[in-house]
Structure 1
Amino acid sequence: MKLWGGRFAKKTDYLVEDFHSSISFDQRLYRQDIQGSIAHARMLGKQGIITIEEADQLARALESIQQDIEAGLVTFEVDAEDIHMNIEKILTERVGEAGKKLHTARSRNDQVALDIRLYLKEEIKEVARLLVALQKVMLDLADQHLTTVMPGYTHLQKAQPITFAHHLMAYFQMFTRDIERLQDCFKRVDVMPLGSGALAGTTFPIDRNYVREQLGFAGITMNSLDGVSDRDFAVEFCGAASLIMMHLSRFSEEIVLWSSNEFRFITLDDGFSTGSSIMPQKKNPDVAELVRGKTGRVYGDLMGLLTVLKGLPLAYNKDMQEDKEALFDAVDTVKKCLLVFAPMIKTMKVNKQVMRSGVTGGFINATDAADYLAAKNVPFREAHEIVGKMVLCCEQKGKSLEELTFEEMKEFSPVFEEDIYEKISPEKCVEARNVPGGPAPQAVSAAINLGREALAKILVWL
């Protein structure tokens, strides 16, 4: 008989049993469910709602059930619907009448809200740990390539010379903001809903703050309706996860480009590449492509959860059972992508000379030629026009700016001096941009040091 079956005169249709059940996916919450139930039982005993002896008996039995689950000795039942009812059913079978008292002053509505929050608190920090691990790899790699000059792009056209270190640190900053979003999301997850009951609290003299302390929450929910029907913290996590995936996807796109024969900026390690079933020469960047592809999956989790919630009246509705698969999938996908991304980056070979040769062509030093004139008191707009005409001339003659003779340069502006050739060399173009946030080795080195300091602070939180 169902634990809620007293009001029903007929068994649930077998089609509904399977459709209604969530045990196939919410069983991963067994540890959080048991943790919450133990704290709840202890509180019931402390408050005299059940005896201390019964509370101890329930806690010991729940701990034993967890051990048996982890030893593979428990088979969950579909007709028990979910992880909460499965564990309560097993508990009652083991301890009898005391097991039936555990649900006093509690509803599955606040129970599941608690379990999801306990789960997400753990997973937020795990995702952050994986981001930190990736960032450490990026900092080390950036340190090695402070002077590795490469072309920077806008519109996927060569724009200005930068360094590979500077490029890496751009993604480092993105991932830092991702961690900050996770930290902010954590604050709203770290609120305990147990005690909200089904929607209107309980008439029993419970001690919510005792349970909060036992479970390590920072606060309690302040409205019972909100406590059971709120899932915006899950939406917020999926939003943060979507941004993480967006950043990974952009990085992946560049890895795909850079590893192509057209670029050859990097060579991926064989352990993080795959081949073709028909073309023996192929070495495919499948890891990066899969990360790029899985980004849409996490976006879908976010949109699915938003859509589930958009029309729900207060308080709990069965629609909200759909929150878990989306949330679990977002967590799993982000973790898997981060787990494989860091070693892929760490093991790839950076082809310095190819990157350096990529700086030639495309008039990548044109801005520096204009800055040279502006520094000699030529209004920048005039300088811009002068260099634009020089680029047009070079295109017609099949030359680069630095291949123009000094006499040819003087024809465009008498302000040019012999030192122009040094000023527009790619290395000097990079070195001259020694401002905070710029690509000069000194500026990037400072950014790396600040990055290491930031990670140290994040590790304290973790």
Structure 2
Amino acid sequence: MKLWQKESTSVSEIIEKFTVGRDKEFDQLLAKHDVQGSIAHVTMLGEVGLMTKDEAETAVKALQDIQQEIQKGEFSIAENVEDVHSQVELLLTQRIGDIGKKIHSGRSRNDQVAVDIKLFLRETILLVKDEVKTLFDLLIANSEKYKDKLLPGYTHLQIGMPSSFGLWFGAYAESLVDDLEMLAAAYVVANKNPLGSGAGYGSSFPLNRTFTTNALHFASLNYNSVYAQMTRGKTEKVTAMGLSCIAATLSRLAMDCCLYINQNFNFISFPSELTTGSSIMPHKKNPDVFELIRAKCNRIQAIPNELTLLLNNLPSGYHRDLQLTKEILFPAIEELKACLQLAHLMLTNIEIKDNILADEKYKYLFSVEAVNELVNQGIPFREAYQQVGNQIEKGEFNFDYTKGLHHTHEGSIGNLCNDEIKKMMDATLRKFHL
């Protein structure tokens, strides 16, 4: 069944297979949203007189029955049916007769799939946001738990200055705050209603688009009907940008963990059941989870560019190219959620080594501490720098870090400002419900 097919036309099998592609696979994910949009549309048709009140109520009841079947996993798109929209309309027609044929009045598949995707992405963004918040809470908790555990800080992968696990965990927590700012922007874009724009040029029917906007709990409309269609692809791309920011943070965190578990660093370890072994080297404990998080998240960061290449230079109006956004973006969403969950699992079980900085190779880590100590005694910074530099050159440098490090400014080892970071996260989270 095809919504556009006439009695006298048919499509060759090879053309149908090519044009449908993987659409049915991803339409299953949109099914509940398609029904949700249809309920709002049908209710509106009853309000404006394009269906009688009784007809609209009958159609809504049948749509609610289909929604329950979807929730129970009893819904599927038949082999000879083109897409989820066609399947829902077919089921309605089978169950309530000619009333089912009326539900498409004032609607095109173009605005139908646009609203489905907006509803799907809006829900998905909130689910990703929750996964990020769960990881954020763990990072803050670990930052507090391990704030007195020192480790080397690096620049250019060379030993730089003393850091702490409190500072390290907290850095990634605050990074997630900024990542959610980007995802919140995507939520705002997804939270606008394109339904009623039809094929992109509106309708001569007296549709009430404000009604469907309220019924679907959108924050506002995509008002211009041409632009409502132009949000196809754009919404997906903006969402992908938000996801890619989170992926970038996870990828960098995973890379740190791969380094820190390495025997040459030996800062952290994980229980054996969370690592993998070698088929030939019996001593190996490989950080495969972090390596795969790194790889998957790097691939997710390519999604905005892939969507750009798909969408670039398309003129206004609908084009079948847009069908491919689903198979580019939807799997990436599931990959990112899995990476967030696995990162949480690993970091819940992380083991931090004691007395890391006691190793002789880290003695120059405290050169800046020595310079600052001289400055506090009244020696100009440049002279203090030269004195310590000369001591290092002559092999005479020594600094007893065990007497304590005095880092007190905001965001330093001794003043992590985790409460302030949590406040920033709370403020960002509020943007998802505007």
- Using the size of structure 2 for normalisation, the TM-score is 0.94
Contact 1:150 1:359 in 2 (8 A): no
Task: Name the CA distance, whole Å, in 2 between partners of 1:70 and 1:54.
Answer: 24
Q: 1:3 is matched by which residue type in structure 2?
A: L
Q: 1:428 is matched by which residue type in structure 2?
A: G
Contact 1:149 1:427 in 2 (8 A): no
Contact 1:298 1:329 in 2 (8 A): no
Q: 1:13 is matched by which residue type in structure 2?
A: S
Which deviations, in whole Å up to 9, do the C-alpha atoms of 1:114-170 show, x marking residues without a partner?
111111111111111111111111111111112111111111111111211011111
Instruction: Give the 3 Å change call, closer, same or farther, for CA 142–317 of structure 1 in structure 2.
Output: same
User: Which secondary structure does the structure 2 equivalent of 1:68 belong to?
Assistant: helix
What corresponds to 2:60 in structure 1?
A: 59
- In the TM superposition, residue 372 of structure 1 has moved relative to its aligned partner by 2.3
Which deviations, in whole Å up to 9, do the C-alpha atoms of 1:223-250 show, x marking residues without a partner?
1111012232221111111111111111
Task: Name the CA distance, whole Å, in 2 between partners of 1:129 and 1:200.
Answer: 37
Contact 2:251 2:298 in 1 (8 A): no
Task: Name the CA distance, whole Å, in 1 between partners of 2:260 and 2:364.
Answer: 20
What corresponds to 1:16 in structure 2?
A: 15
What corresponds to 2:409 in structure 1?
A: 435
What corresponds to 1:191 in structure 2?
A: 192
- In the TM superposition, residue 309 of structure 1 has moved relative to its aligned partner by 0.7
Aligned: 1:158 with 2:132 = no
Q: 1:5 is matched by which residue type in structure 2?
A: Q
What corresponds to 2:267 in structure 1?
A: 265
Q: Please show how residues 290-309 of structure 1 align to structure 2 within 5 Å.
A: 290-309=292-311
Aligned: 1:425 with 2:401 = yes
User: Which secondary structure does the structure 2 equivalent of 1:352 belong to?
Assistant: coil
Aligned: 1:277 with 2:276 = no
Contact 2:132 2:176 in 1 (8 A): yes
For structure 2, the residue ranges without an aligned partner over 5 or more in a row are none
Contact 2:191 2:219 in 1 (8 A): yes
Instruction: Give the 3 Å change call, closer, same or farther, for CA 51–165 of structure 1 in structure 2.
Output: same
- In the TM superposition, residue 426 of structure 1 has moved relative to its aligned partner by 5.6
What corresponds to 1:380 in structure 2?
A: 381
User: Which secondary structure does the structure 2 equivalent of 1:363 belong to?
Assistant: helix
Contact 1:17 1:79 in 2 (8 A): no
- In the TM superposition, residue 2 of structure 1 has moved relative to its aligned partner by 2.7
- Using the size of structure 1 for normalisation, the TM-score is 0.89
Q: Please show how residues 162-181 of structure 1 align to structure 2 within 5 Å.
A: 162-181=163-182
- In the TM superposition, residue 14 of structure 1 has moved relative to its aligned partner by 0.7
- In the TM superposition, residue 428 of structure 1 has moved relative to its aligned partner by 2.7
Contact 2:303 2:328 in 1 (8 A): yes
Of 371-380 and 201-210, more deviation after overlay is shown by 371-380
What corresponds to 1:50 in structure 2?
A: 51
- In the TM superposition, residue 360 of structure 1 has moved relative to its aligned partner by 5.1
User: Which secondary structure does the structure 2 equivalent of 1:96 belong to?
Assistant: helix
- In the TM superposition, residue 17 of structure 1 has moved relative to its aligned partner by 1.7
Task: Name the CA distance, whole Å, in 1 between partners of 2:164 and 2:334.
Answer: 34
For residue 450 of structure 1, the aligned residue among 410, 420, 423 is 420
- In the TM superposition, residue 180 of structure 1 has moved relative to its aligned partner by 1.7
For structure 1, the residue ranges without an aligned partner over 5 or more in a row are 403-420
How many equivalent pairs are there? 429
Of 169-178 and 90-99, more deviation after overlay is shown by 90-99
Contact 2:261 2:267 in 1 (8 A): yes
Aligned: 1:329 with 2:331 = yes
Of 67-76 and 105-114, more deviation after overlay is shown by 67-76
Q: 2:47 is matched by which residue type in structure 1?
A: K
- In the TM superposition, residue 347 of structure 1 has moved relative to its aligned partner by 0.7
What corresponds to 2:135 in structure 1?
A: 134
Contact 2:32 2:70 in 1 (8 A): no
Task: Name the CA distance, whole Å, in 1 between partners of 2:344 and 2:187.
Answer: 24
Q: 1:12 is matched by which residue type in structure 2?
A: V
Q: 2:240 is matched by which residue type in structure 1?
A: C
Point out the structure with max Rg over C-alpha.
Answer: 1
Q: Percent identity?
A: 33
Contact 2:28 2:84 in 1 (8 A): yes
Q: RMSD value over aligned CA atoms?
A: 1.8
